[in-house]
Amino acid sequence: MFALKEIEAKTLLAHVRQPDTWFGLKYNMNLYRGCEHQCIYCDSRSECYQIEDFGGEVLVKVNAIDLLRRELARKRVKGMIGTGAMNDPYTPRAERRYNLTGQALEVIAQLRFPVHILTKSDLVLKDLDTLREINRVHAVVSFTITTTDDALARKLEPGAPSPSARLRAMQTLAANGIHTGVTLMPVLPFIEDSAENITAIVKSAAAHGASYIIPAFGVTLRDRQRAYYYDRLDKLFPGLRQEYEARFGEQYHCPANDADALRDLLDARCREHGLVTEVSHYAPESAARQLSLF
């Protein structure tokens, strides 16, 4: 059981280094620190992020909504706001209790900013009405799906809703006009880097209303995160740790096997199903438009 600990943040919105070719973000926000989904590959365990008890508590920024309202009111450029980079905005117990993501989306809708949500959760559907309102400007929801095998996903992402639940949520969003698709990242070497897995993801995404797939073929490993990941490999996939150590050593980026061939396969399958491999970007506009003389 995760502990929920209330904290106060000094700031909320961070500027994203431009250009953001991945997600088209101008600003980024994290309403929580820590995540209940406990994906075995999560980079947020790394020491550089200074989250001391990533596996035991979620820090809740209880003043986040007031900060967001004040900070957005001062923004002169209405660029895309992202959430989900450091933790899932729909980490379940915290979001159900505090509803910070739901409240933040309401502020974003009121102030007419665009949003891009990254999530592994069908809990996003609780905010469907707010997302439809934001979509008068621009709303994007990307679901991380790295396998369509629910049993495998339970090992890799033990606290997250199943891929099948995410796909059903995607279908609902698409039916309501929300731009939605898949972030296919990471693709874990020796586990998910097969032609069969990539093909299944493309077919399932297309069948459930996705319009894009954003891929990254491999995984990043460093310090505390690597140690945790290898410990989980020992328990879940005995012998696989040794293959990682032999191939990658201490390197940060660990590419998928035959990554170039898998990318070619993804591109071909996406073309067959009418999907693109990038998300549409929102063109920022000035929040303070020049007044007409007439």
* CA dihedral sign, ordered 151, 155, 157, 158: positive
Q: What is the pLDDT averaged over residues 262-290?
A: 84
- The pLDDT of residue 288 is 45
Distance, in Å, from the CA atom of 219 to the CA atom of 238, rounded to the nearest integer, reads 19
What does pTM read for this prediction? 0.94
Residue matched to tokens 């729909």:
90
Residue matched to tokens 């549409």:
280
Distance, in Å, from the CA atom of 57 to the CA atom of 59, rounded to the nearest integer, reads 6
- The pLDDT of residue 52 is 65
- The pLDDT of residue 289 is 47
Distance, in Å, from the CA atom of 13 to the CA atom of 80, rounded to the nearest integer, reads 11
Q: What is the pLDDT averaged over residues 142-146?
A: 98
Distance, in Å, from the CA atom of 285 to the CA atom of 156, rounded to the nearest integer, reads 40
Q: Is the pLDDT of residue 47 over 90?
A: no
Q: What is the pLDDT averaged over residues 20-29?
A: 94
Q: Model confidence over 161-199: pLDDT tens digits?
A: 999 999 999 999 999 999 999 999 999 999 999 999 999
The CATH classification number of 3-273 equals: 3.20.20.70
Longest dimension (CA), the chain: 74
Query: What percent of the chain clears pLDDT 70, i.e. is strictly above it?
Result: 94
Per-residue pLDDT band at 19 (split at 50, 70, 90): confident
Count of CA atoms in the C-beta half-sphere (13 A) of 251: 11
Per-residue pLDDT band at 291 (split at 50, 70, 90): very low
- The pLDDT of residue 247 is 97
3-state secondary structure of 272: helix
**244, 254 Cβ separation under 8 angstroms:** yes
Closest to 102 in 3D by CA, of 83, 120, 85: 83
Q: Is the pLDDT of residue 15 over 50?
A: yes
